[in-house]
Amino acid sequence: MDILYKVFIDPFLQMGTSPDLLVQTLWDGLVAGVLYALIALGFVLIFKASGVFNFAQGIMVVFAALTLVGLHERGVPAFVALALTIVVMLVLAYGVERLMLRPLVNQSDIILFMATFGLTYFLIGVGQLVFGGNPKVMIASELYLPSGAFEFKALGGFVSLQKIDIAAVVIASVMVGVLAVFFQRTRIGRALRAVADSHQAALSVGISLEQIWVIVWFAAGVVALATGIMWGARSEVSFSLQIIALKALPVLILGGLTSIPGAIVGGLIIGIGEKLGEIYWGPLLGGGIETWFAYVIALGFLVFRPQGLFGEKIIERI
Amino acid sequence: MLYREAGQYKTSYAADMAVFPILQDRIGLAVILLIAFVVIPLSGNNFMLNSVLIPFLIFALATIGLNLLTGYTGLLSLGTGGFMGVGAYACLKLTTFFPQVNIIVWILASGFFSAAVGVLFGLPSLRIKGFYLAVATLAAQFFLEWCFIRIPWLYNNSTSGAIEVPLRTLFGIPITGPTATPVTRYLIVLAIVVGMTWVASNLVHGRIGRMWMSVRDMDLAAELIGIRLLPAKLLAFAVSSFYCGVAGAMMVFLWYGGAEAEVFAIDQSFLVLFMVIIGGLGTLIGSFFGAALIYILPIGLRAVPAAFGLPIHPAAAEQLTFVIVGALIVVFLVLEPAGLARLWQIGKQKLRVWPFPY
Amino acid sequence: MRAPSSREAALGEVLLAVEDVSLSFGGVRALTGVSFDIRKGEIRAIIGPNGAGKTSMLNVVNGFYQPDSGRITFKGQVRKSMRPHAAAAGGIARTFQNLALFRGMTTLDNILAGRALKMQRGFFWQILRYGPAMREEVEHRRRVEEIIDFLEIAAIRKIPVGRLPYGLQKRVELGRALAMEPDLLLLDEPMAGMNLEEKEDMSRFVIDVNQQYGTTIALIEHDMGVVMDLSDRVVVLDYGRKIADATPDEVKRDKNVIRAYLGEPHGVSV
């Protein structure tokens, strides 16, 4: 009985008695969720257009952030460094398409997945060699990102909203909005959707797969850069960040691998759910459950909807 | 000329279905076993034993385990590290409760605990497939990692949070703990790995291997020849986790001599997956090749600058290793996606007709 | 051609009875109130234009789809909803239009896989691959080799099926179905994509399977010549409904069938 009380009653009581903590938790979860969604977005972009599950998305986040900070360290002005980093991500996209995707074009999914593993190790090594392995500070102020927090008394206590978090949510929303418009309205966006549907059909109407893949990996690279800047500004730029990418997997499960709105909704659900779980149920289990709680949430969903919330139903034709 | 099968006729189905039907293969195998069991222990290079051969064998076993699940049955799993850990911790608890029972028995028995955990986390495979199943195994991996750290009872409440391996003996010779010699440990690991490889070979050549491969190749078709999918998949999880569990127990008890939970983190899962894929999905010999390449290559790379007298900072050498291994993986996959085992097969084909071109 | 009367006498009681079966996917009605039966030992053809629901009908018999309504009686027992592996255990085997072979395995292993239900030696013996397990492997290998000889594919038995030409792959798939020693064999367009010679070979195999092993056969086929020569009775489907159910000669002359499927003759006799 005691356990039932602890699991099913007490956490909700706590939520009720300190609503300021609840709001804070919800906000923190929202911010985390937005950032997870950004990473998931990178995965979805690449998967939709090339069918590749890009394990290297996480390291691309770190790599992009490192390049930016590293260039600035060497004396390049902030916004020039930003532009240069974007160029680097474009070069990376070309390189990946030419050296990895094209030679492996007909191989099975697991082979391509493995190749992105190789890419991950490669980028880790290059990143460490060129920029050093020590954690770095993101050049947030040089990029005119706000710092400090809005604190206000509300609901009987304190709620603190970091300004950088607000900026992150805003920037992420703008980015998603731009991408959504891009996909729906532009010629290239249409081509991307065509490629996502069927490589062969797209080829037969004259769409160049190689070009599309470069564009999509570049877009994912830019998303990775934005994510890297945001995450880096909130904590620091280090190689441990790439583990965060693994957090995007439950998001992808929930949202389906091919859905952009799914990545966002999934991100928010996972972010908020995880934070709520950690604050209100975590102490029951001794804490630290955020390493696996998100997966359990996702697993629960999967059992009922194996294709995720927004994913395409897998129909097997005989 | 050396490798011709001419003159080797099979006069019974049993002979045709032997695992090594070609005489030269059998001779080769005998030679390798002879070197492994006799020559190497006699030549006694402790560094080779401790840092190369023992871990190679242990990883090869884990790779076979994962290969059975992912290569033969087609179920991608990222929980290998966790399952290895279950074996290690189970072994520790078993030998703590029953220290008088021989440790080798417990090393093998710990596999059953891993198998049980594997079956539990394999249950979602009833409904979930492919990539999504892999993520379910990730849930297992992260949950198990958390358990290893947060449940002190598992590591006997030691203050360091790590497994401390007690001294255990066999016929009076120490085989675990600080006094066990590399040769002793090597021979035990070798015996276990050879035995379990033989078992795995028997399984994959018989009806169970065919059942698993049917599930892998087209599970709908497997159903229509009468295979029940869930039991087949759960069996794969069970056997695979058993192998990983034993490998994990050996890793702690017969190699490291002690371990912290980090040893069984997600990195281990990825490492073994690399070995499976580079070695060749769905082949047993590939498991050995993959383990050799992925484990020994970085050691070799690190040793190269020193051998040439080049002054490279050790950290830089480590990073360079990452770069090279990463690039090699991609290059390798481009050149031969079916892995080292396929290269080996092609090599044997060419050897069959050598010195003629065809 | 067989003498009709002796063949009629050879056919047994009803093996499979489909009663008023309906099936729809989302808004599409694949089958509407279809009823027919198959007698033991006969060769029953199911024909009709593309999209008529023929494959769906086989999928229902096989257990891949559960009908929305209607019932199926097999070997005298009414069947509730059934998974394919249960259908297999009950004695139903199947081949597919688009081939459902295990591409990672050789011909021999594919056909051996068909013996899965018959191989029962437990796990412990499998681990040792000795004694009972080995004897069982050899015995089933012998049976499979008989099938391989029957289908004349001995030369390709160690080749991975992915490398075989299409016609041979279809034969291997038939072999795997035969390995199950089924009571009812469902063939979905077994002659599709074959040239004349291959069709003659396959027709010969189908007849031999029916006469030597007594297997009841239901086949979907578009080649009317094959249908006329092989089958005892024909069911004609169109847009998910049955529009004819009779002997080949009668069906050939049926006005509904001609309008829906066969087409008006233009001086060429069917």
Residue at B216 is within a domain: yes
Residue at B157 is within a domain: yes
Lowest mean pLDDT among B102-106, B239-243, B305-309, B333-337: B305-309
**Better-scored residue on pLDDT, C85 or A5:** C85
- Which of B68, B112, B224 has the highest number of chain C CBs within 10 A, making it the mutation to test binding with C? B224
For residue B44, the tally of other CB atoms under 10 A from its CB is 12
B69: DSSP letter: I
Interatomic CA distance for residues B324 and B51, integer angstroms: 21
Query: Contacts for C208-215 with beta carbons within 8 Å, 24 or more apart?
Result: C208/C150, C209/C178, C209/C185, C210/C41, C210/C43, C213/C178, C213/C181, C214/C41, C215/C178, C215/C182, C215/C183, C215/C184, C215/C185
Lowest mean pLDDT among A72-86, C188-202, C255-269: C255-269
pLDDT above 80 (res C31): yes
Residue in chain B closest to C140 (alpha carbons) equals B13
Q: In C, which residues are within 8 Å of B205 by CB distance? A: 129
| A191-207 tens-digit pLDDT | 887 877 777 788 888 88
| B223-269 tens-digit pLDDT | 989 999 999 999 999 999 999 999 999 999 999 888 888 889 888 99
Interatomic CA distance for residues B280 and B290, integer angstroms: 7
Here the tokens at position C44 are 């029953």
Residue at B241 is within a domain: yes
Q: Longest Cα pair distance anywhere in chain C, in angstroms?
A: 68
Domain residue spans in chain C?
1-91+184-203+216-270, 100-181
Give the SS3 label for residue B215: helix
**Residue-number span of the structural domain to which A114 is assigned:** 2-304
Lowest mean pLDDT among B37-41, B67-71, B79-83: B37-41
Strand partners, B176: B168
Q: Which chains touch B (3 or more CB pairs under 8 A)?
A: A, C
Q: How confident is the model at residue C232 (pLDDT cuts 50, 70, 90)?
A: very high
Which superfamily is assigned to C100-181 in CATH? P-loop containing nucleotide triphosphate hydrolases (3.40.50.300)
> What average pLDDT does chain B have?
86
Task: Report the relative pairing of strands C184-188 and C216-220 from DSSP bridges.
Answer: parallel
| B109-156 tens-digit pLDDT | 999 999 999 999 998 888 777 777 887 898 899 899 988 888 888 887
Query: What is the number of structural domains in chain A?
Result: 1
Residue at B313 is within a domain: no
Interatomic CA distance for residues B268 and B258, integer angstroms: 16
Instruction: Give, for C11, the enclosing helix (H) or strand (E).
Output: none
**Residue C2, pLDDT score:** 46
Q: In A, which residues are within 8 Å of C59 by CB distance? A: 318
Interatomic CA distance for residues B318 and B313, integer angstroms: 9
H helices of chain B, in order, are 13-16, 23-34, 40-43, 46-47, 54-66, 80-97, 103-122, 130-150, 182-205, 207-217, 219-224, 229-250, 266-279, 284-291, 297-308, 314-335, 340-353
Asked if A136 contacts A228 with a C-beta cutoff of 8 angstroms, the reply is no
Asked if A50 contacts A32 with a C-beta cutoff of 8 angstroms, the reply is no
Residue in chain A closest to C98 (alpha carbons) equals A318
- Given C105, C126, C180, which is nearest B206 (Cβ)? C126
Give the SS3 label for residue C94: strand
Q: How confident is the model at residue A312 (pLDDT cuts 50, 70, 90)?
A: low
Asked if B299 contacts B291 with a C-beta cutoff of 8 angstroms, the reply is no
Residue at B259 is within a domain: yes
The owner of tokens 């080292």 is: B340
Closest CA to A89 of A227, A262, A203: A227
- Given B17, B206, B213, which is nearest C105 (Cβ)? B213
Contacts of C166 (CB under 8 A, 6+ apart): C99, C193, C194
Q: Which chains touch A (3 or more CB pairs under 8 A)?
A: B, C
Instruction: Give, for C218, the enclosing helix (H) or strand (E).
Output: strand C216-220
**Residue C1, pLDDT score:** 46
**Residue C7, pLDDT score:** 62
Measured between CA atoms, how close is A317 to chain C, in angstroms? 10
Asked if A246 contacts A290 with a C-beta cutoff of 8 angstroms, the reply is no
Whole-number Cα distances in Å, B99 to A217, B93, C235: 57, 10, 73
| Residues in chain C, overall count | 270
Q: Which chains touch C (3 or more CB pairs under 8 A)?
A: A, B
Does the distance separating the beta carbons of C94 and B227 come in below 8 Å?
Answer: no
Closest CA to B197 of B13, B19, B14: B19
Between B and C, how many residue pairs show a Cβ–Cβ distance under 8 A? 102
pLDDT above 60 (res A80): yes
- Given B124, B136, B330, which is nearest A118 (Cβ)? B330
**Residue A311, pLDDT score:** 65
Q: In C, which residues are within 8 Å of B221 by CB distance? A: 96, 100-102
For the segment A4-26, the average pLDDT, to the nearest whole number, is 79
Instruction: Give, for A293, the enclosing helix (H) or strand (E).
Output: helix A293-304
Q: How confident is the model at residue B3 (pLDDT cuts 50, 70, 90)?
A: low
pTM over 0.80: yes
Does the distance separating the beta carbons of B205 and C142 come in below 8 Å?
Answer: no
Query: What is the number of structural domains in chain B?
Result: 1
Does the distance separating the beta carbons of A299 and B139 come in below 8 Å?
Answer: yes
> What average pLDDT does chain C have?
87
Residue at B85 is within a domain: yes
Task: Report the relative pairing of strands C241-246 and C233-238 from DSSP bridges.
Answer: antiparallel
For the segment C16-23, the average pLDDT, to the nearest whole number, is 91
Asked if B279 contacts B341 with a C-beta cutoff of 8 angstroms, the reply is yes
**Residue C265, pLDDT score:** 59
| Residues in chain B, overall count | 358
Give the SS3 label for residue B335: helix
Residue in chain A closest to B326 (alpha carbons) equals A118
Based on C-alpha coordinates, what's the Rg of chain C? 19
Q: In B, which residues are within 8 Å of A306 by CB distance? A: 127-129, 132
Instruction: Give, for B263, the enclosing helix (H) or strand (E).
Output: none
C270: DSSP letter: -
Here the tokens at position B82 are 């966790």
Does the distance separating the beta carbons of B149 and A292 come in below 8 Å?
Answer: no
Q: In B, which residues are within 8 Å of C88 by CB distance? A: 223-226
Q: In B, which residues are within 8 Å of A295 by CB distance? A: 135-136, 138-139, 142-143
| Residues in chain A, overall count | 318
pLDDT above 70 (res B7): no
Q: In B, which residues are within 8 Å of C176 by CB distance? A: 225
Interatomic CA distance for residues B121 and B108, integer angstroms: 21
Residue at A251 is within a domain: yes
Interatomic CA distance for residues A260 and A44, integer angstroms: 7
pLDDT above 50 (res A87): yes
Does the distance separating the beta carbons of A107 and B333 come in below 8 Å?
Answer: yes
Best-predicted range by mean pLDDT among A179-193, A246-260, B58-72, C107-121? B58-72
Q: How confident is the model at residue C267 (pLDDT cuts 50, 70, 90)?
A: low
**Residue A279, pLDDT score:** 82
A318: DSSP letter: -
| C191-220 tens-digit pLDDT | 888 888 989 999 999 999 999 888 999 999
Here the tokens at position C244 are 């004819």
Does the distance separating the beta carbons of C127 and B199 come in below 8 Å?
Answer: yes
Cβ of B187 under 8 Å from any chain A Cβ?
no
**Residue-number span of the structural domain to which B203 is assigned:** 44-265
Terminal Cα distance for chain B, rounded: 12
Q: What's the one-letter identity of residue B273?
A: L
Interatomic CA distance for residues C85 and A144, integer angstroms: 64
Contacts of A92 (CB under 8 A, 6+ apart): A60, A63, A217, A221
Does the distance separating the beta carbons of B206 and C137 come in below 8 Å?
Answer: yes
Cβ of C170 under 8 Å from any chain B Cβ?
no
| A245-275 tens-digit pLDDT | 778 888 888 887 778 888 888 889 888 988 8
Here the tokens at position A269 are 């659900």
Query: Contacts for C157-163 with beta carbons within 8 Å, 24 or more apart?
Result: C157/C106, C157/C107, C157/C108, C158/C106, C158/C107, C158/C108, C159/C106, C159/C107, C160/C103, C160/C104, C160/C105, C160/C106, C161/C101, C161/C102, C161/C103, C161/C105, C161/C106, C161/C107, C161/C110, C162/C103, C162/C104
Interatomic CA distance for residues C63 and C59, integer angstroms: 6
Cα angle for residues C219, C224, C230 (degrees, 5° grid): 50
Q: What ipTM, to 2 d.p.?
A: 0.86
pLDDT above 90 (res B301): no
**Residue A155, pLDDT score:** 67
Measured between CA atoms, how close is A124 to chain C, in angstroms? 35
Interatomic CA distance for residues C92 and B331, integer angstroms: 47
Portion of chain B with pLDDT greater than 90, in percent: 35
> What average pLDDT does chain A have?
81
Does the distance separating the beta carbons of B128 and A303 come in below 8 Å?
Answer: yes
Q: How confident is the model at residue A316 (pLDDT cuts 50, 70, 90)?
A: low
Asked if C87 contacts C72 with a C-beta cutoff of 8 angstroms, the reply is no
Report chain B residues touching chain C, CB-CB < 8 A. Answer: 12-14, 17, 199, 201-203, 205-208, 210-211, 213-214, 216-218, 220-229, 282
The owner of tokens 């371990």 is: B259
pLDDT above 50 (res C3): no
| C115-166 tens-digit pLDDT | 988 887 788 888 888 878 888 888 899 999 999 999 999 999 899 998 999 8
Tell whether domain C1-91+184-203+216-270 is in CATH 3.40.50.300. yes
Portion of chain B with pLDDT greater than 70, in percent: 94
- Asked whether the domain spanning C100-181 has the same topology as the one spanning C1-91+184-203+216-270, the reply is yes
Q: How confident is the model at residue B2 (pLDDT cuts 50, 70, 90)?
A: low
Closest CA to A211 of A309, A99, A94, A127: A94
Residue at A235 is within a domain: yes
Whole-number Cα distances in Å, B65 to B71, B196, B233, B282: 10, 10, 14, 11
Q: How confident is the model at residue C231 (pLDDT cuts 50, 70, 90)?
A: very high
Interatomic CA distance for residues A245 and A57, integer angstroms: 7
Terminal Cα distance for chain A, rounded: 51
- Which of B128, B141, B323 has the highest number of chain A CBs within 10 A, making it the mutation to test binding with A? B323
* CATH code: domain of residue A21: 1.10.3470
**Better-scored residue on pLDDT, A164 or C113:** C113
Q: In C, which residues are within 8 Å of A318 by CB distance? A: 55, 59, 64, 96, 98, 100
Peptide bond into B355 cis (omega under 30): yes
Give the SS3 label for residue C100: coil
- Which of C65, C83, C85 has the highest number of chain B CBs within 10 A, making it the mutation to test binding with B? C85
**Residue B210, pLDDT score:** 93
| B184-219 tens-digit pLDDT | 889 999 999 999 999 999 999 989 999 999 999 998
- Given A133, A257, A295, which is nearest B138 (Cβ)? A295
Contacts of B290 (CB under 8 A, 6+ apart): B63, B274, B275, B276, B277, B278, B279, B280, B339, B340
Q: In A, which residues are within 8 Å of B330 by CB distance? A: 99-100, 115, 118-119, 122
Q: SS3 for C168-212, per residue?
A: HHHHHHHHHHHHCCCCEEEEECCCCCCCHHHHHHHHHHHHHHHHH
Cβ of A318 under 8 Å from any chain C Cβ?
yes
Measured between CA atoms, how close is A98 to chain B, in angstroms? 12
Strand partners, A158: A153
Does the distance separating the beta carbons of C141 and B218 come in below 8 Å?
Answer: no
Residue in chain B closest to C94 (alpha carbons) equals B224
The owner of tokens 């977005």 is: A41
